[in-house]
Amino acid sequence: MLAFLFPGQGAQSIGFLHRLAPHPAVDETLAEASEVLGTDVLTLDTAEALRSTVAVQLTLVIAGVAITRRLAAEGLAAQISAGLSIGAYAAAVSCGAVAFADALRLARKRAELMENAYPTGYGLSAISGLTERAVETLARETANDPAGRIYIGNVNAPRQIVVAGADAALDAFNARALAAGARKATRLDVSVPSHCELLARASDELAAYSADVPFRSPRSTYVGNRSARPLETADAIRDDLVTNMRYTVRWFDALTVMIERGATVLVEAPPGQVLTDIAADAYPGVHALSASTIAQDKLAETIRRRLR
C-alpha cells in the first residue's frame, strides 16, 4: 500500500520549486498556483522570498501537489496521505478533501496570520535524544521564566521533539536540554512559534475564514496532525487544517497509524528527507523513499518495484 508524506516548514531550500523535473502535470500545477495567487510562484523559492513564512508555506504546498499529480499521471495514487504542519494541506488535496486552489488560499491566509502574529523574535528548536516526557518536564520549568515559556510543538519521533517559543527562551532551553542529556538541540529555519497556544487567536481567525471554503469527504485515508488518527469527514479535516498551528503535531503517532493500516511504501514529497529518515529508522521493514533524492524519470518505477 502506498502512502504519501508531506514535509512541513523547515524542509524548504533555495530553488526547490525549480528543481522539480519538467512534466505536464508539474507545469500545470505551477501555472494553476500562479493564477490563483496572482504571482509567478517560481519567484517564491529565492533566498530573499523564503525569508517570508507565507512564501515558505505556499511553496511547500505547491511542491507536494505537483509531485502527487505527476505520480497520478503515471498511474500511482496514494491510499493514505499525511502531512506535517503545512504539509497537511497538500495531504488534504492528495486525498481529495479540498481543491488545490482552495487549499492554496487557505494556506496563504494561515501563513499571513502566523507571520502577522509573530513577525520576528520567535521560532522552533529541535531536541534530539530526550523523550517527550523529559522535554515536557523541562518545558514546565520555564512557566515563569523571564525569557518566556517553552511549548512542545512537534513529537516527530520518540526522541526527536520540537519546541516553540521566543528566541531568547529557545536559546536558554537548548542549553538546558543539552545539560539534561540531549544529543542535539538546534534552532530550525522557522520564524514563528508553531503548534502552541501562542497561535490560538490566529487559529480562531483561520477557522472563521475557512467557513466558506468547500471541503469534501476524502476519497482515500487522511491522517490528522492533532489526533494522529484517520479522519473521515469534511468537517474533521477542515478542523485539523485550521487548528494544527495551535496544537502539538503528533507526527510519530500518525506515522505509526499509517503503518498499522497497511502502508508498505512511504514517499516523501519534495523538498524533504526528514520524514523519510524518521520512517526508515523506526520501521526498517517499510520502504521509505524521498522523492527529492530519486531521479524524477525513475521515481514511478522505483515506487512500483517497492510495491511489488
Annotation marks residue 195 as catalytic: yes
Angle at alpha carbon of residue 237, lines to 20 and 67, rounded to 5°: 10
Verify whether residue 85 is a known catalytic residue: yes
H, E, C per residue of 31-76: HHHHHHHCCCHHHCCCCCHHHCHHHHHHHHHHHHHHHHHHHHHCCC
Rounded to whole angstroms, the Cα distance separating 99 from 93 reads 6
Q: Which position among 195, 203, 210, 290 bears the catalytic label? A: 195
Q: Provide the edge-to-edge strand list for the sheet that holds 221-223.
A: 230-231, 221-223, 80-83, 2-6, 265-268, 287-290
CB-based contact 83:7 (threshold 8 Å): yes
Beta strand 80-83 pairing with 2-6? parallel
Catalytic residue among 23, 81, 85, 194: 85
Q: How far apart are the first and last CA of the chain?
A: 10
Sign of CA dihedral 19, 20, 21, 26: negative
In b/e form, how buried is each residue of 197-221, taking b as 16+ CB within 10 angstroms? ebbeebbebbeeebeebebeebebb
Instruction: Decide: 204 and 109 in contact? Cβ < 8 Å.
Output: no
The shares of helix, strand and coil residues in the chain, as percent rounded to the nearest 5, are 50, 15, 35
**Would you state the cell numbers that stand for residue 271, as one nine-digit string?**
523538498
Tell me the catalytic residues: 85, 195
